[in-house]
């Protein structure tokens, strides 16, 4: 009986100890971390993470300081890495020091992708990869792999491959969130000519959200690939390799987002929003400015997609369909454009081709054709090849400039520019009268 009592007492004590440790806050300075930037902290921090993980998780507190890392920090389930402020608690890599040339870890802060990582939170820290623009052999800032119910919030990254990312989760709904993130200069590469160009903020996890975040100076501002992904209140600026947003998502939502290609139309790059290849997108209340290509670009065969109340300012083409490597008979079906406005477009305000069973209603093109009108750039609203069964009505074309550039309002190239009968528009309903510009349809 005494022996049994001792066993029960020991079990009770151990259970009490585990309950005390689980969820506890551990200050990394109390375990010998160096906030001066002089010595490596990766070993100490990873041991603390392992200790917390062994008892069910907890909070790892990172006070103000600069923390040198010779290797990646590997987060695990139920770990909360919490700094004081994104500008005060800084992790950084020193060039040519530590294991960075050899490690297979893809970021300064990451997870092991071979197991599902649950309930990870990372907040109030900064990460500086110290990789130069176009450098190779680069690492990401914060890349959390195979995670669920996890969040990255109020953090900053600079001089990295990807800035902040979630990827490798295979389930239907990750419930991962990126919020309040600032990624600057995600501008380095893993290898020369790597198609995985650097992205400021990336998610490839189904059911994830990106909210109130910024990407500045990245190869691509924001990138997503998957299902049921949401972007709300984000901003991309000064990307240099691709687009402000490149989104390949079924059931995509983009609300109140913005993309600024450069300080002027001449200095902008790429497209603001590239919506590509999938079905079921809603793009609403968003702005693209100073993009050399499109403000809002739809890639065939993107379908069942709505663009409502968006603005394209000073872009090459305000809104349009990109055929790229998807020739006819592939088309975009069931697109809906309404209450969008294109202002001072270099070429067309709106360009449609390889589109069917769609509606374009109550949109406006203002002061188009800033680069001049040629045979191939006629029309503030332009209809080119393979447009069918689509309604165009209650749209407005106007030019408020003293010297008009928008010489053609609504121009259907099927009238006298498309010679092949099979390429001409079919069964389209067009009701239009431009305020300024010649209409041909």
Q: Is 334 helix (H, G, I), strand (E, B) or coil?
A: coil
Same domain, 205 and 352: no
Is residue 228 one of the residues assigned to a domain? Answer: no
The sign of the CA dihedral 414, 418, 421, 426 is: negative
Is residue 217 one of the residues assigned to a domain? Answer: no
Same domain, 362 and 433: yes
Is residue 3 one of the residues assigned to a domain? Answer: no
* Mean pLDDT for all residues in the chain: 94
Show which of 164, 191, 212 is a domain's final residue. 212
pLDDT band at 412 (very low <50, low <70, confident <90, very high): very high
Is residue 316 one of the residues assigned to a domain? Answer: yes
Domain of residue 85, CATH code:
2.160.20.10
Same domain, 349 and 202: no
Q: What is the pLDDT of residue 194?
A: 62
Q: What is the pLDDT of residue 23?
A: 63
pLDDT band at 145 (very low <50, low <70, confident <90, very high): very high
**Tokens encoding 98:** 């530590």
What number is the average pLDDT over the span 271-295? 98
pLDDT band at 13 (very low <50, low <70, confident <90, very high): very low
Query: According to DSSP H, which parts of 22-80 are helical?
Result: 42-54
Q: Percentage of the chain surpassing pLDDT 70? A: 94
Number of folded domains that form the chain: 2
Other beta carbons within 10 Å of 171: 12
Q: Percentage of the chain surpassing pLDDT 90? A: 92
Q: Give residue-wise pLDDT tens across range 349-393.
A: 999 999 999 999 999 999 999 999 999 999 999 999 999 999 999
pLDDT band at 134 (very low <50, low <70, confident <90, very high): very high
Show which of 193, 212, 231 is a domain's final residue. 212
Q: In whole angstroms, how far apart are CA 94 and each of 37, 215, 283? A: 9, 23, 41
17 vs 235 pLDDT, higher one: 235
How far, in Å, CA of 199 to CA of 216, rounded? 10
What number is the average pLDDT over the span 91-108? 94
Domain that holds residue 89: 23-212
> H/E element holding 15?
helix 2-21
15 vs 293 pLDDT, higher one: 293
Question: Residue 70's Cα: distance from chain center in Å?
Answer: 29
Is residue 119 one of the residues assigned to a domain? Answer: yes
325 has a pLDDT exceeding 60? yes
**What does pTM read for this prediction?**
0.94
Same domain, 273 and 390: yes
Q: What is the pLDDT of residue 192?
A: 74
Is residue 129 one of the residues assigned to a domain? Answer: yes
Is residue 2 one of the residues assigned to a domain? Answer: no
Same domain, 132 and 263: no
User: What is the biggest distance separating any 2 CA atoms in the chain, rounded to whole angstroms?
Assistant: 102
Same domain, 77 and 133: yes
What number is the average pLDDT over the span 99-127? 97
**Tokens encoding 145:** 């792999």
Same domain, 430 and 369: yes
Lowest-confidence range among 1-5, 409-413, 414-418? 1-5
How far, in Å, CA of 192 to CA of 138, rounded? 10
How far, in Å, CA of 284 to CA of 279, rounded? 16
**Tokens encoding 371:** 């680069």
Same domain, 250 and 208: no
Is residue 298 one of the residues assigned to a domain? Answer: yes
Q: What is the pLDDT of residue 324?
A: 86
Show which of 212, 232, 256 is a domain's final residue. 212
Same domain, 321 and 362: yes
1 has a pLDDT exceeding 50? no
Provide φ and ψ at 115, rounded to 5°: -130, 155
Same domain, 43 and 191: yes
Same domain, 322 and 397: yes
Same domain, 30 and 165: yes
Q: Give residue-wise pLDDT tens across range 30-84.
A: 999 999 999 999 999 999 999 999 999 999 999 999 999 999 999 999 999 999 9
Residues 6+ apart with CB under 8 A from 48: 26, 28, 31, 60
């Amino acid at each position: 009986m005494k022996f049994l009592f001792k066993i029960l007492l020991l079990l009770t004590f151990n259970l009490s100890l585990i309950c005390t440790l689980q969820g506890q806050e551990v200050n990394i300075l109390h375990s010998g971390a160096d906030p001066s930037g002089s010595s490596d902290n990766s070993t100490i921090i990873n041991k603390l993470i392992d200790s917390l993980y062994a008892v069910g998780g907890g909070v790892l507190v990172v006070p103000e300081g600069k923390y040198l890392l010779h290797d990646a920090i590997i987060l695990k389930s139920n770990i909360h890495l919490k700094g004081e402020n994104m500008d005060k608690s800084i992790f950084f890599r020193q060039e040519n020091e530590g294991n960075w040339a050899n490690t297979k870890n893809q970021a300064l802060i990451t997870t092991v992708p071979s197991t599902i990582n649950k309930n990870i939170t990372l907040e109030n820290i900064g990460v500086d990869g110290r990789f130069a623009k176009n450098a190779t052999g680069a690492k990401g800032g914060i890349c959390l792999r195979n995670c669920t119910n996890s969040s990255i919030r109020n953090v900053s990254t600079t001089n990295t491959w990807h800035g902040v990312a979630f990827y490798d989760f295979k389930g239907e709904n990750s419930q991962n969130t990126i919020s309040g993130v600032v990624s600057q200069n995600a501008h380095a590469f893993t290898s020369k000519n790597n198609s995985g160009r650097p992205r400021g903020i990336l998610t490839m996890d189904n059911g994830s959200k990106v909210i109130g975040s910024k990407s500045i100076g990245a190869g691509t501002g924001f990138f997503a690939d998957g299902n049921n992904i949401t972007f709300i209140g984000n901003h991309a600026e000064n990307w240099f390799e691709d687009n402000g947003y490149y989104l390949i998502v079924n059931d995509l939502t983009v609300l109140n987002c913005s993309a600024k290609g450069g300080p002027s139309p001449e200095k902008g790059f790429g497209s603001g929003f590239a919506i590509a290849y999938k079905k079921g997108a809603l793009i609403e209340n968003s702005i693209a400015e100073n993009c050399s290509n499109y403000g809002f670009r739809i890639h065939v065969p993107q379908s069942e997609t709505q663009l409502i109340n968006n603005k394209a300012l000073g872009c090459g083409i305000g809104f349009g369909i990109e055929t790229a490597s998807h020739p006819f008979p592939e088309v975009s079906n069931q697109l809906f454009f309404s209450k969008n406005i294109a202002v001072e477009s270099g070429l067309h305000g709106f360009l449609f081709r390889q589109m069917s069973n769609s509606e374009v209603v109550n949109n406006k093109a203002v002061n188009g054709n800033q680069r001049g009108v040629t045979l191939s750039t006629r029309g503030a609203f332009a209809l080119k090849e393979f447009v069918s069964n689509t309604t165009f009505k209650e749209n407005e074309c106007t030019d408020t400039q003293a010297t008009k550039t928008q010489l053609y309002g609504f121009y259907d190239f099927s009238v006298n520019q498309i010679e092949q009968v099979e390429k001409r528009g079919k069964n389209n309903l067009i009701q239009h009268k431009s305020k300024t510009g010649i209409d041909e349809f």
